[in-house]
């Protein structure tokens, strides 16, 4: 899967003089636990890898005087998933053993 840096420095876009005003801006995606149940266990500040299926709904050419032209596109999110963490061979073995020999609960 090819990944791109999605952030951009807003100060550069607005041609601000002060470097302190050049803050990184990242697009946002807001979801609730009905749309993506896994978020119940997630922590703020951590990074997670999502996979989305989108439908393009609008495309426009953004041309400003003295700037390089760029294309903008809007999307509807139709499906979303979580990329599962790759398990080490030791973790896979442990999981297989747990399935084969489930722990009996003390009553």
55 with 74: CB under 8 angstroms? no
Q: How far apart are CA 59 and CA 72, in angstroms?
A: 6
Closest listed residue to residue 80, CA positions, set 58, 52, 49? 52
Q: 67 is in which domain, residue-wise?
A: 8-100
- 70, part of any domain: yes
- 105, part of any domain: no
pLDDT of 104 reads 72
- 1, part of any domain: no
How many structural domains are present in the chain? 1
- 107, part of any domain: no
- Backbone φ, ψ for residue 35 (5° rounding): -80, -35
- 2, part of any domain: no
- 44, part of any domain: yes
Closest listed residue to residue 47, CA positions, set 3, 95, 103, 98? 3
- 106, part of any domain: no
72 with 60: CB under 8 angstroms? yes
pLDDT of 59 reads 94
Strand pairing of 8-9 and 50-62? unpaired
pLDDT of 17 reads 55
- 84, part of any domain: yes
Q: How far apart are CA 27 and CA 104, in angstroms?
A: 48
Q: Which residues of the chain have pLDDT under 70?
A: 11-22, 87, 92, 105-107
């Amino acid at each position: 899967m090819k990944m791109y840096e999605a952030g951009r420095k807003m100060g550069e876009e607005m041609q601000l003089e002060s470097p302190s005003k050049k803050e990184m801006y990242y697009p946002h995606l807001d979801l609730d636990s009905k749309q993506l149940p896994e978020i119940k266990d997630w922590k703020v500040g951590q990074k997670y890898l999502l996979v989305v299926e989108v439908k393009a709904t609008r495309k426009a050419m953004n041309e400003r005087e003295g700037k390089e032209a760029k294309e903008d596109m809007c999307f509807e999110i139709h499906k979303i998933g979580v990329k599962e963490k790759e398990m080490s061979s030791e973790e896979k073995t442990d999981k297989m053993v747990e399935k084969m020999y489930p722990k009996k609960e003390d009553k």
